[in-house]
Amino acid sequence: MDKNAFTAASRIPEGAGKNPVTAARIKSTVNFYKALVVLALASFLLSGNPRLQNAALAILFPGEAFVGLGGLWLIGLPVTLYASTNTPQIQNSLLISNDRLLFALSLFLWFATGNIIAPFVTWPGLALLVPSLPAAGSTTSHGVYTVTGLAALAYYSLTRWANKLRATTVARRETRNAVLPKVIAELQEQTKQTPTPRDLELDPELLGRLRYLIQVSLQDQDDFKNFDTVEQFQPSAIRYQITEMVYALAFANRFYTPSFRCGYLHEGQKGLLKKYCQEKVLWYWKYEALWGALV
């Protein structure tokens, strides 16, 4: 077989993408939460201390640390987000709603920035804080049913979503397996064709762009006059501009000038790597680490 020929599996195997390590960790987390549910319900039913009961409710579901303060209004949760009143019950229900929003926001921040402290603060953190408030000295008897129902509903919704996602993934895999042999055969046929010298030449426009990238890459390490400085935390950051230039020069060197070793093309690539290490490029990381880990 030609060493340059395209090779690939004829179908996507059933075990592809199962991620056994992730599945094992999710299973451990679910089992840990089940143990917390048993502990919380036992604490609520067996303890006569309202503060301990409020803490137990808070363990079951994020934001339920406030149920003992105004759990009756939890039924009107969608309405209370926009309610405007001075009654303590609705104000407490607004606290529940806002805390739910804060917990959802904390999960987003966890995913987006690695902020592992925010979910803890908005769930178990409030479970420790709210029961110490004066208003937590009394509790509502229906709180355990409300919170347990919400926790069960959340568990059911997540399970249903996971099953639906799994079914969609399997259906997509079967659809792709139906066309995969034909696509692979076409790619293998294309790779058998020997490229002509003309196919391995850059046209004048691409050659001009490559020349410009080389000129920029050969600038001094602290010279950023040909880079756009917008912000340094999102895709417009300078580091992404540098990495794209590195990819372009490496691609050109590999496929269009494979015999051009050393020289200004390699010097440009080395210069970009050194430029990437400048403080102007990497200063964002100390703030990223501070925000992500809160250390």
Report DSSP state, residue 29.
H
Distance CA 126, CA 140 (A): 18
Distance CA 292, CA 285 (A): 10
pLDDT band at 216 (very low <50, low <70, confident <90, very high): very high
What is the DSSP track for 185-228?
HHHHHHHHSPPPGGGGS--HHHHHHHHHHHHHHTS-TT--TTS-
Distance CA 88, CA 143 (A): 17
Task: Specify whether the CB–CB gap between 184 and 6 falls below 8 A.
Answer: yes
Which residue, 109, 135, 139, 173, is CA-closest to 47?
139
**pLDDT digits over 240-294, tens only?**
999 999 999 999 998 888 888 888 999 999 999 999 999 989 888 887 777 665 4
pLDDT at 95 over 80: no
Count, residues in the chain:
295
User: What single letter denotes the amino acid at residue 138?
Assistant: S
Tokens of 155: 């568990």
In the chain, % of residues over pLDDT 70: 68
Residue 77: the pLDDT is 40
**pLDDT digits over 10-67, tens only?**
788 877 777 788 888 888 988 988 888 888 888 777 877 777 777 777 777 766 666 6
> How far does CA 119 lie from the centroid of its chain?
14
Q: What values do phi and psi take at 223, rounded to 5?
A: -100, 110
Residues 6+ apart with CB under 8 A from 171: none
pLDDT band at 74 (very low <50, low <70, confident <90, very high): very low
The structure's pTM equals 0.50
